[in-house]
Amino acid sequence: RLRSAPVTVRFVTNTTKESKRDLLERLTGLGFDIAENEIFTSLTAARNLLEQQQVRPLLLVDDKALPDFTGIGTDNPNAVVVGLAPEHFHYEMMNRAFR
């Protein structure tokens, strides 16, 4: 019914554990008729903000989330993006983030 209605359909999630591509594959595997551009995640919001502010982040996100930041410069970071990534929360990485 939503697809035939005059509304824009979006699938919104706050997940930071996987890329939109992985999420798309999981949802289509469950039978959802969905396109990647219909998915909006907290990583999408973070990427949009990074682009608007023109900053270079240190990405403390799960490796599966990295594809959502393709093309974003991360050399000499001047910002930090934090997602659910316990394997990246260790002394050395926290030091980098605080610096």
Residue 46 included in any domain: yes
Residue 5 included in any domain: no
pLDDT classification of 2: cutoffs 50, 70, 90: confident
Residue 3 included in any domain: no
User: What is the three-class DSSP state of 92?
Assistant: helix
Residue 6 included in any domain: no
pLDDT classification of 6: cutoffs 50, 70, 90: very high
Q: What's the structural domain count of the chain?
A: 1
pTM above 0.75, yes or no: yes
Residue 29 included in any domain: yes
* Domain harbouring 53, CATH code: 3.40.50.1000
Residue 48 included in any domain: yes
Residue 52 included in any domain: yes
pLDDT one-digit tens code per residue, 34-54: 999 999 999 999 999 999 999
Q: What is the domain range of residue 88?
A: 11-98
Gap between the Cα atoms of 61 and 27, Å rounded: 21
If one counts every other C-beta atom within 10 angstroms of the C-beta of residue 76, the result is: 7
